Amino acid sequence: MMRDLNVMLNKKVFNLKKQMIGLLCVFVPYTIIGYYGLLKSISDKSTNSPKFTTMFFINFCLAIIWFVVIIRNLRQISGSIAMIEMDNKLEKPITKGKTTLFFFLYFTAIPYIQYHMNKIVDIYNQNKSI
């Protein structure tokens, strides 16, 4: 979606490398700490230890950062889509608020974004063929 939006907007709004590195910088430590720290402590039955508490706190913080990064990306995508929809005077453009709400409602933000993305891709293809 980010690459397609860059093409449709004729400018580099999204730096895909930077976005992926940001996601991986949070996801990899989260996974490593979750697996080696938390699961190992649970299997050793040492959940009352300070090591477990520290690992749990770090992993919890990383999970929050992970959610913030994903929500920030979804809101940025929604903003770009909304800009294109408003330029083309489409009814009911995508909103960042609904995107965030749908993220927390069973992660339905992706189908919501994809619905609006499909609308602007259709317009883009129609304008390109003319």
With cut-offs at 50, 70 and 90, classify the pLDDT of residue 47. Answer: low
Helix (H) or strand (E) holding 121: helix 109-129
Residue 48: predicted pLDDT = 74
CA atoms within 13 A on the CB side of 30: 14
Query: What is the rounded average pLDDT for all residues in the chain?
Result: 88
DSSP tag of 92: S
Q: Which residues contact residue 84 at a Cβ distance below 8 angstroms, ignoring those fewer than 6 apart? A: 5, 8, 9, 120, 123
Q: Which of 32-46, 53-67, 88-102 has the highest mean pLDDT?
A: 88-102
pLDDT, mean of residues 113-117: 96
